[in-house]
Chains A and B, each alone.
Chain A
């Protein structure tokens, strides 16, 4: 009985949240809808980094690189070849995932800080490569302009803030659905085992190497999707959107929300994405407030704003 009530309660909350999310854009101003869109982008990036950093505990401070690969794949293929954005959505995800597989395979055995340094380097290499305009493809510091609005090629085009809002939150919703299921599976448990104790995980029969690669590939794939949507929303991409500071922001999203917690990643994205907007009136000082708030949060809630709760497996 207890269990059934809990499930009903959870389903109820989910439905209320879903309805609120659907009504919100029709009552809010365009500005707020745009803020909510960027909140969605941050949420997707937070969720993607949460796989690597939260579930497996690998310090990835170059996550913007995968985001950039997704965004530039969309930008270049769309402007050069005119491929519709929606067709490029899976393409960007797969390209970013493939890129992650390529660059992470040789370094995946590194532990802790060593891997962290490699990912910082990776993020910088990608950014600088984009700046240097290889083959005249990336447009150097100016980036790529004139990216289309999302369409499949037909008459249906997403060109309003509300459309983009729904697009990103549908992608976030589907990602959450997939990630929750992964979390409660053999894969998710094995990821957590690796985070807790790599040696013991290996001795228990978990293929640490391939599962670590998998987390990078999935995380990069989701970041690639975010890059695609971002590129078509902004209609241009430039290297300054994918700096080390951006990678740090995504890192903070996961730490603030709670490592390995899916609702945490969304809450963390809200904190990082919305806070600067709320304190916009304080102009210069908003980053100061932002920093102070982060310190305070880490002090009072070191495990994150919404840490993952374990147990209550529902076994009778």
Chain B
């Protein structure tokens, strides 16, 4: 857990007097694709020490929000504020370096690399060795490599995949691939973890383990924002839920409140009941 420590120092140096406990905030976030307004004046708040969920029916724009926040798409309007800093116009790798780590809806691993290498790549943005220091193996470079290995080892252990370390990522079971992607995100020493449908494709037992895992991460003081379709997972882990439909926020609140909100039931849960 010493890994988290250097993170904390990074955090505190960057925000001397952040009064609120909000780590990520979007203000009137807008994203258009041609004539389609995928995200429309969307406000989202993620608090420190909370698991927040973003839910909504298919095509509501949840993944687009994630892609805009992590810099994959540029925002067409509004602000993204992370730890008091404006993220608008940041490139994805800059966003990751600032402390937001993410996973993808359809797993995106480095499939022909080993699991260990996949997780090691997370430390890339925390190291600085260049071409020459890598060729001549300077002291600093070796120190960084050792640290990278240590972080990768502890993260792989954390998700319980250490035994797969030398296997290619494409050759491990689907559920493990999901966990490996989370381990890779964790290896960047993030201050916020964004998960895009982490439980999709997992069986009940795996979902159950995932929920335990996420709650354990929260104890590590790592806030999480997730998109999720599995209502058991959403209701089980989230402290705060934001509901989105057609690019707009239609409700937010505690899981209980959301569960009974007629607007939400109409837009989202209602469809589930019909089935």
- A contact set with B: CB distance below 8 Å: 178, 181-182, 185-190, 192-193, 196-197, 199-208, 214, 218, 310-313, 315
Residues of B close to A193: CB separation below 8 A: 110, 113, 121, 124
A200 to B130, CA, bound (A): 21
Residues of A close to B70: CB separation below 8 A: 203
B27 at the interface (CB under 8 A from A): no
A189 to B188, CA, bound (A): 15
B97 touches A205 (CB 8 A): yes
A/B pair count, beta carbons within 8 Å: 122
User: CB-nearest residue of chain B relative to A315?
Assistant: B165
Excluding A199-B92, A310-B166, 11 further A-B contacts by CB distance (< 8 Å) are A185-B141, A185-B145, A189-B124, A190-B124, A193-B121, A199-B108, A200-B108, A205-B96, A310-B117, A315-B165, A315-B166
B166 touches A311 (CB 8 A): yes
**Partner pick for A208 among B93, B121, B149, CB 8 A cutoff:** B93
B129 at the interface (CB under 8 A from A): yes
**Partner pick for B168 among A185, A203, A204, A310, CB 8 A cutoff:** A310
User: CB-nearest residue of chain B relative to A209?
Assistant: B91
User: CB-nearest residue of chain B relative to A206?
Assistant: B124
B102 at the interface (CB under 8 A from A): yes
A186 touches B116 (CB 8 A): no
B168 touches A311 (CB 8 A): yes
A181 to B132, CA, bound (A): 10
Residues of A close to B144: CB separation below 8 A: 186
Give chain B nearest CB distance to A129 CB in angstroms: 29
Give chain A nearest CB distance to B127 CB in angstroms: 5
Given A192-B110, A193-B110, answer yes or no on A204-B121 (Cβ-Cβ < 8 Å): yes
A202 touches B91 (CB 8 A): yes
For B72, B111, B112, the residue with the greatest tally of chain A CB atoms inside 10 Å of its CB is B112
A192 to B109, CA, bound (A): 12
- B contact set with A: CB distance below 8 Å: 70, 72, 91-93, 96-97, 101-102, 104, 108-114, 116-117, 120-127, 129-131, 134-137, 141, 144-145, 148-149, 153, 165-168, 184-185, 188
Given A200-B110, A203-B96, A310-B168, answer yes or no on A189-B134 (Cβ-Cβ < 8 Å): no
A203 to B190, CA, bound (A): 12
User: CB-nearest residue of chain A relative to B164?
Assistant: A311
Would you mind naming 21 contact pairs between A and B with Cβ atoms under 8 Å apart?
A185-B145, A186-B124, A186-B129, A190-B121, A190-B124, A193-B113, A193-B121, A196-B110, A199-B72, A199-B104, A204-B121, A205-B124, A206-B125, A207-B91, A310-B113, A310-B114, A310-B168, A311-B167, A311-B168, A313-B116, A313-B166
Residues of A close to B126: CB separation below 8 A: 205
Give chain A nearest CB distance to B227 CB in angstroms: 15
9 closest A-B pairs by CB: A205-B125, A205-B96, A311-B166, A185-B134, A196-B110, A200-B108, A202-B92, A178-B135, A207-B93
A204 touches B148 (CB 8 A): no
**Partner pick for B134 among A182, A199, A203, A204, CB 8 A cutoff:** A182
A205 to B112, CA, bound (A): 19
A211 to B46, CA, bound (A): 33
A197 touches B109 (CB 8 A): yes
For B111, B121, B168, the residue with the greatest tally of chain A CB atoms inside 10 Å of its CB is B121
Residues of B close to A207: CB separation below 8 A: 91, 93
Residues of B close to A312: CB separation below 8 A: 166
Residues of A close to B96: CB separation below 8 A: 202-205
**Partner pick for B117 among A187, A189, A199, CB 8 A cutoff:** A189
Given A192-B110, A197-B109, answer yes or no on A181-B93 (Cβ-Cβ < 8 Å): no
A192 touches B131 (CB 8 A): no
A310 touches B112 (CB 8 A): yes
Residues of B close to A192: CB separation below 8 A: 110, 112-113, 117
